[in-house]
Amino acid sequence: MRHKKVQKRVIEEDKVYQSKLVAKFINRMMKDGKKAVAEKSFYQGLEILKKDGEPLAIFETAINNVGPKLEVKSRRVGGANYQVPQEVRGDRRITLAIRWLLEAARARSNRDFHHFSEKLAAEFLEASKGEGAAIKKRDTIHRMAEANKAFSHFRF
């Protein structure tokens, strides 16, 4: 063992939906410790989704759809680096999904949207339908894992 095990922080549920997943997302969204700004944007984004159905359900579906099942990790074996496909654990899966959804929302062009909450809502909606930039990212990761299946015996 190289390092001691890091204690996981306990995250409190968010105020509106009493969901730890929402709280995690807001925390990841936050910049420079401005939680109130992040919360406002997130909740406005879910408000926008109300016309398309249950906003929390759309959000959770988006997170589940974007979360990858496989990823590649570099392994050094006998002087060569191999991209070894591995299954993604539950926590990491959610973390990656959140990261990719935020990246995709931030990368959207400003022409069509006036506020970040609109970008977020659009990204959630697309991801819940299985399309959009975050889903593309997941598919790329899956393709890489599939292409490197031959090296899966290096997993340990």
Beta bridge partners of 83: 74
Q: How many CA atoms lie within 13 A of 144 on its CB side?
A: 19
CATH code 1.10.455.10 for 20-70+89-130: yes
In this prediction, residue 156 carries a pLDDT of 61
| Residue 115 burial by Cβ neighbours in a 10 Å radius (0-12, 13-18, 19+) | middle
123, two tokens: 């990204």
pLDDT value of position 90 = 87
Please identify which residue in the block is written with the tokens 């398309």: 52
What residues of the chain score a pLDDT lower than 50? Answer: none
| Residue 154 confidence (pLDDT) | 78
- Amino acid code (one letter) for 113: F
> Distance between CA atoms of 58 and 144, rounded to whole angstroms?
28
72 within 8 A of 66, measured Cβ to Cβ: no
- Break the chain into its structural domains and give their ranges: 20-70+89-130
pLDDT of residue 7: 92
- Statement: the pTM of the whole predicted model exceeds 0.75: yes
CB 94 within 8 A of CB 33: no
Residue 88 phi/psi, 5° resolution?
-95, 125
3-class DSSP state for residue 141? helix
